[in-house]
Structure 1
Amino acid sequence: MSLIKGSHHITMSVGGAQEDVDFHVKTLGLRFIKRTVLFDGSIPVYHLYYSNADGDPSAVLTTFPFGQAGVRGRRGTNQAREVLLAVPSGSLNYWSQRLTEHGIGVDSVEVFGRRRLMFRHPTGIEYGMVGVEHDTRRGFAGYGVPEEHAIHGIYGVGVHVANPDNTVEFVGNHMAVDPLLEEGERVVLQVGTPSQGGAVELVVNRSDEQGTWFYGEGTIHHFAWNTETLENQDKLKFDIEGAGYTDISELKDRKYFKSVYVRAPGGALFELAVTHPEGGWTCDESPKELGSRFQLPGQFEARRSEIFEQLEHIDI
């Protein structure tokens, strides 16, 4: 029995906050559900959250706009590289036209016999759209995107690796995947329920330099799995540690979810996440108000005015 239902969220380091909002909300039509700050460190950096209509686990993209701090990352190998999104089957022509109209270059490619669209975030992070059927996650009809074409949520993540065997072994032994598929230099593993965004696509990349692992503009920082319960999370952590993968964190309370982080042997940082049992996204805002207020972790509340003044103004 799998301890993972599917994906939970993807977290990236981007450039400007307004540029990021414009891309995710005004171009992709996603719902803006949370504006807070990075829990770790002392430098005020936004943490922005986008989702489908219901904020489902498996449908949340989060970003740290590090452009203001002047920290730039390097995309490379041994690093998560592609944000893969699920859209309704038959919607790719609509998205190709919409992205083009918003000044975003789009490539139509075929992967495992299925068409997908590839494009980039303004900071260069690679995105892909995959048409899917029988996905019950509800897309958000925002900024002119009709519900019949709206993004369901995450499809999966593309990870570049110099040697895929180590990552296949790690994911295959500890995350209860379906049998892998191979096509050229790409290996695909499915974790959890297919409609919950758990596709892991490993791309063999021995030409690029090692990608950076710190927070830095233009890179994916981590990919989070939905373990659903703290019991499942603890069992999976115990299993991974017991196998000798000791580059794994203790439990961290992120207010909206509880997290454990583990570095896979292929380089990608994975998170084992559980939506907080005491409210999740709605612990500090009602469902209709999500994203409307600037939220702060308790340790920063005394610095609210100072932090707010230092951060870039965002127009939603």
Structure 2
Amino acid sequence: MTYVEGSHHVTLSVGHAQEDVDFHVKTLGMRFIKRTVLFDGSTPIYHLYYSNANGDPSSVVTTFPWAQAGLFGKRGTNQAREVLLSVPTGSLEYWYKRLIQHNVEVDNLDVFDRRRLAFRHPCGIEYQLVENDNDEREGWTGNGVPREYAIHGLHGVGIHVTTPERMIDFANDTFFSQGQLSEEGDRASFQVGNAKYGNHIELTANVSEDQGTWHYGAGTYHHFAWNLDTLANQDQVKFGIEGAGYTDISELKDRKYFKSVYVRTPGGCLFELAVTHADGGWDCDESPHELGSKFQLPAQFEDQRTQIFEQLEHIDI
């Protein structure tokens, strides 16, 4: 039986590296777990990883800081847009005050009859904090956020589309949607996979904006990754997607910490199908208590360590 377990991580193209670290670590209180580089292409660009206490699949936000390279994107429709993060029920007043104290503008939203907070990364990417009952993932408390308020991990992904029906059909027929479709105004929401949390897809019908960019570029979402659990299951899911006619899908790529394939969905959002394989995981090159303390490189770049490090922005963690 083929399946999606739940979400794995989200990857964003952000602005400068230090402002990204400050936002995720000092403002959102997330754990810094990995400092490495983009595996694709020849331009040295940081790949930075943030998570909850344990780096669980479904808890990780990763970023490429592209401003140093002068590459910028455009937010629009037919593109993933909102980073949805899960926080404990009753924590929004704490987060409202904390965000204001860190000079972050915050809006209160009422979505699907529940309050949530909306704000932006310094590069403009949209974030929302969503309260969830009984989210068992453990928040990180190393940056001054009390345990009862700490971010559990991902709630899901917000995608803007011109034709939501095509994305809903893809999810229903090919990509393991679960439960009932919820609709509210120009929004639709459903869950994907077997997990209890972290796997919400929220679609916003958006015909007023131009097509957003899909290439790397500061200020834009790059992809949302799903946890396929095993390489054998990943293969079967890939075959099923291709067999349904969605052939804009990549070959297997080894990302050291996980192995992945990528598929462009009918709604424009790039999905990654990820597996944390036997030789991977965040602690394959650092012990659990040292995560994020060393600059890591894939083997093919190791002989260029000094040159690459000198080209990248200096960051203080």
- Residue in 1 that maps onto 2:181: 180
Q: Using the alignment, how far apart are the partners of 1:9 and 1:28 within structure 2?
A: 16
Alignment partners' CA distance in 2, 1:82 and 1:271? 17
Give the corresponding residue for 1:210.
211
SS at match of 2:67: coil
Q: Name the residue aligned to 1:228.
A: 229
1:299 aligns with 2:300: yes
Separation (CA, whole Å) in 2 of partners of 1:194 and 1:130:
17
The answer (yes or no) to whether the contact 2:5–2:195 under 8 Å persists in 1 is no
Aligned to 2:191: 190
CA distance in 2, matches of 1:315, 1:198: 32
Partner of 2:259: 258
Alpha-carbon distance in 2 for matches of 1:24, 1:190? 26
Check the 8 A contact 1:5/1:196 in 2, yes or no: no
Amino acid in structure 1 at the alignment position of 2:204: V
TM-score (norm 2): 0.98
Judge conservation of contact 2:2–2:236 (CA < 8 Å) in 1: no
Name the residue aligned to 2:38.
Answer: 38
1:261 partner SS: strand
Deviations 1:113-159 (A, max 9, x none): 01100000000000000111111100000321011100000000000
What does residue 312 of structure 1 align with? 313
> How far has the Cα of 1:64 moved from its partner?
0.1
Tell me which residue corresponds to 2:111. Answer: 111
Tell whether 2:306 aligns with 1:287.
no
1:109 Cα offset (Å): 0.8
Residue 271 of structure 1: aligned partner: 272
Deviating runs (4+, > 3 A) in structure 1? 193-196
Residue 89 of structure 2 is matched in structure 1 by 89
- Aligned equivalents of 2:185, 2:292: Cα separation in 1: 42
How many correspondences in the alignment?
A: 316
Q: Secondary structure at the match of 2:148?
A: helix
Aligned-partner residue type, residue 183 of structure 1: E
- Aligned CA-pair RMSD: 0.9
Contact preservation (8 Å) 1:39, 1:297: yes
Letter matched to residue 214 of structure 1: H
| Equivalent position amino acid for 2:167 in 1 | T
SS in 2 for 1:58: coil
Cα deviation, residue 279, structure 1: 3.6
Cα offset for 1:276?
Answer: 2.3
168-177 or 246-255, which deviates more: 168-177
Letter in 2 for 1:302: D
- Could you tell me which amino acid in structure 1 is paired with residue 89 of structure 2? S
Q: Where do 1:28-177 residues align within 5 Å?
A: 28-177=28-177
Equivalent residue, structure 1, for 2:22? 22
> Cα offset for 1:194?
5.0
**Displacement of 1:195 after TM fit?**
3.3
Unaligned segments of structure 1, at least 5 residues = none
Structure 2 residue matching 1:179: 3-state secondary structure: strand
Question: Counterpart of 1:6?
Answer: 6
CA distance in 1, matches of 2:286, 2:60: 17
Q: CA deviation at 1:2?
A: 6.2
Does the 8 A contact of 2:83 with 2:128 survive in 1? Answer: yes
- Residue 196 of structure 1 deviates from its aligned partner by 3.3
Give the Cα separation in 1 of the matches to 2:206 and 2:142.
36
CA distance in 2, matches of 1:133, 1:269: 29
Q: State the 1:189 CA deviation.
A: 1.4
Whole-Å separation in 1 of the counterparts to 2:35 and 2:163 = 37
Superposed CA deviations along residues 171-215 of structure 1, whole A, max 9, x for unmatched, are 121222122111110011101245331100000000111000001
Amino acid at match of 1:265: P
Checking the alignment, whether the CA contact within 8 Å between 1:2 and 1:175 is kept in structure 2 is no
Scaled by the length of structure 1, what TM-score is found? Answer: 0.98
The one-letter code sitting in structure 2 at the alignment partner of 1:252 is K
